[in-house]
Amino acid sequence: MPVTSTLRSRLSAFTPTVLRTEVLAGLVVALALIPEAISFSIIAGVDPRVGLFASFTMAVSISVLGGRPAMISAATGAVALVIAPVVREHDLPYLIATVVLAGVLQVVLGLLRVPRLMRFVPRSVMVGFVNALAILIFWAQVPHLVGVPWLVYPMVAAALAIMVFLPKLTTAVPAPLVAIAVLTVLTVVAHLAVPNVGDEGALPDSLPVLGVPDVPFTLETLRIIAPYALGMALVGLMESLMTAKLVDEVTDTHSSTTREAWGQGAANVITGFFGGMGGCAMIGQTMINVRAGARTRLSTFLAGVFLLVLVVGLGDVVAIIPMAALAAVMVMVAVGTFDWHSIRPTTLRRMPRSETAVMVATVVVVVATHNLAIGVVVGVVVAALLFTRRVAHLVEVDGVLSPDGAVKTYHVHGALFFASSNDLVGQFDYPGDPGSVVIDLSDSHVWDASTVAALDAVTTKYAARGTTVDIVGLNPASAEMHERLAGHLAPAH
């Protein structure tokens, strides 16, 4: 049967080498998720258990439902910032209801194929997104490196050395996992007094429980949670889809944005019913996973499972992992994530200034707001404005007088839309032209009503002087728009 053969082929792809890579990558990600989830819980103003349970349910759910294999979803800082006011003003049950509603909205947006709009995100915004993300990942480690015992610094240096030089000798075991294990053993054996995971917050000792948010099901509740749910849905989708696009480029594979969108929504609904704070894709942990060689859903699933096992079953062991080891892992992720080629002097000299401006704008806004979604929106808007400005100046109008001087033909070259057509009216010699004028649009395209209005203005000005105007060379789409709108647009005031 086709289903059986497909399942058999997928299982056969898990060779011992692939299986080992997926398992070890999932373990490294799980270890890195613990302090991050605890930190994001603090940002959101909830107990660390809420963030840890969210990371478990998000990772496990999205491994089955998501559209991008090997991508990690869990509790994130971007989502924590959006929903923090709900906890502060209305308490935890309203946060849980917000998460569920946000998930429903994401499912709806996914089914409406809204994620397809991602194709309008230019490369310069993507580069800015990646660079800003690397800066934020690095900056998030600074608190673990400032005001700490001096022993932390040689430990971080040792971990970085392991992660830099071990892959040159062997890639059988992920270097981050070796660094974490070595520093943990060293800390225990030498009785080193350095900050550890246990200092970040209490770890849960029981499994998450399924339940319904304890809020009144009224319009007043909807009024309270709807704005935050919409914000969470949009921020989560944008960050997830940008991360998926980045993984697509790194792995030279394709993902389903539609499936990823409704998969994120379904995962948030599940997470909400299990009392989690919700989340979205995590670029840092995803990069750890992908750079460790993981390429399948198994690593994502195991990251969630390992996380739960570690914090519930092996909480005492996890608690003694030094934060220096995890901070070093994330520093390496930041260094590996940053697009260093984009800031080389040779690249900056070759790149159009508008492209560089878009990248810089994206980075500055993301770093200033700590919100990737806002930065991406600003980057896209800046890119659109600069593109419009550039294209608007590519329209040329050439006038040729006939040998007998009775007809003047204007050849218009370029795309005609609201930005370029505004200057079109001033490109003609109204008092000096003969009684017959031809406007040839063979090398142009009429994109909008602004252009039709501009052409109406031109013919009106000529008509006032008794000059006849023929507009020729329209392609079918332009002709249809011109015929439908010409003479029916009131002049702008």
* pLDDT mean across residues, the chain: 86
Highest mean pLDDT among 138-142, 297-301, 367-371, 426-430: 297-301
**pLDDT attached to residue 153:** 94
Whether pLDDT at 438 is above 50: yes
Highest mean pLDDT among 133-137, 158-162, 448-452, 481-485: 158-162
Whether pLDDT at 370 is above 80: no
- Cα separation of 230 and 105, whole Å? 7
Task: Tell the residue number behind the tokens 């600069």, with chain if given.
Answer: 386
Contact of 75 with 279, CB cutoff 8 Å: yes
Average pLDDT (294-313) is: 91
Over residues 74-100, the pLDDT tens digits come to: 998 778 878 888 988 898 899 999 999
Comparing 60-64, 313-317, 413-417, the range with the smallest average pLDDT is 313-317
Over residues 456-467, the pLDDT tens digits come to: 998 999 999 899
Tell me, rounded to whole angstroms, the distance of Cα 388 from its chain centroid.
24
**pLDDT attached to residue 3:** 47
Whether pLDDT at 292 is above 60: yes
Over residues 7-21, the pLDDT tens digits come to: 455 555 678 888 999
Closest CA to 243 of 81, 121, 426: 121
**pLDDT attached to residue 141:** 83
| DSSP-assigned beta bridge partners for residue 436 | 407, 468
Over residues 211-249, the pLDDT tens digits come to: 899 899 999 999 999 988 988 898 888 889 888 988 998
Q: Which residues contact 345 (CB under 8 A, 6 or more apart)?
A: none
Average pLDDT (56-62) is: 95
Whether pLDDT at 5 is above 70: no
Whether pLDDT at 492 is above 60: no
Over residues 143-194, the pLDDT tens digits come to: 888 999 999 999 999 999 998 998 888 877 778 888 888 999 999 999 999 9
Greater confidence (140 vs 365) lies with 365
Comparing 54-58, 89-93, 270-274, 370-374, the range with the smallest average pLDDT is 370-374
Average pLDDT (35-46) is: 79
Looking at the chain, the whole-number percentage of residues with pLDDT higher than 90 is 36
